Amino acid sequence: MDQLKLDRKRVVVTGAAGGLGRAFAAAFVEAGAHVLVADVNAAGVAETAEMLGENCRSAVVDVTDFDSCAALAAEAGACDVLVNNAALYAGLPRGPFEEIDEAVWDRVMRVNIKGVWQMCRAFSPLLRKSSGAIVNVASATVLSGSPQWMHYVASKGAVIAMTRVMAKEMGPDGVRVNALAPGFTLTEASLDHIDNAKEYGADRAALKRSAEVADIVGGALFLASGLASFTTGQTLVVDGGKQFI
């Protein structure tokens, strides 16, 4: 399908030092795009670019800082697709909402919510010029209301809310804004920090298994491609059938 091809599309992926971000970048490169991968982890994102070859280059960005995001936009020069993947997830302490440390709460909100806003602010002129697309990475945990994890769940719910607002504000310039909401996925972070990760929640899925990284990337490609040319303000849940909405 030619509409799924992203030949010469200019794509920016944040949080690309590993995990889903690296997988998104690899999928876009394979689809023919030129990808700028960005992360606060300079060594990790440089490794991603080296792995993916000549159609991928790296940059360091702090998504919570507008000047840093604006510098990234200036370095990109042009953008057809922005994938906002950077977020705090691995190692976040879990516990009752009454006991969440206020500093941890503020840090989660600063990265997971403010970071998406800052990147979209910085890249808005480029995306409006190209009539491009934004893919904001949310989480299916918003639908299940995962207990003991209110800071993360709340932050990803805000990503979905912001997606809907931006879709309406940027739509007149032809910019499509959608959210991708993966379920629990077997990334390095999940395998390192969750006991029995490969079995975690599989019994609740219609497909009776946990998601591999490869199961998620197709959603991002779809939302960025011509196949989704009339899709905006939506949340695509990719979780093997744990949630039905």
In angstroms, the CA 42 to CA 31 distance is 25
DSSP one-letter string for 114-155: IHHHHHHHHHHHHHHHHT-EEEEE--THHHHT-TT-HHHHHH
Residues 6 or more apart from 68 whose CB is under 8 A from it? 61, 62
Per-residue pLDDT tens for 112-151? 999 999 999 999 999 999 999 999 999 998 988 888 889 9
Active site members: 152
- Which among 141, 136, 176 is positioned nearest to 160, based on CA atoms? 136
Residue-range domains of the chain with CATH: 2-238 (3.40.50.720)
- Which among 57, 160, 152, 54 is positioned nearest to 95, based on CA atoms? 152
The pLDDT value given to residue 144: 85
Per-residue pLDDT tens for 149-200? 899 999 999 999 999 999 999 999 999 999 999 987 666 666 556 666 666 6
Per-residue pLDDT tens for 4-54? 779 889 999 999 999 999 999 999 999 999 999 999 999 999 999 999 999
And the tokens for 24?
């998104």
Side by side, which strands form the sheet with 133-137? 56-60, 34-39, 10-14, 81-84, 133-137, 176-182, 235-238
Q: Helix or strand or coil: residue 201?
A: coil
The pLDDT value given to residue 202: 67
What Rg value do the Cα atoms of the chain yield, rounded? 17
In angstroms, the CA 34 to CA 53 distance is 10
Residue 229 amino acid letter: S
The pLDDT value given to residue 167: 98
Strands 176-182 and 133-137: parallel
- pTM > 0.85: yes or no: yes
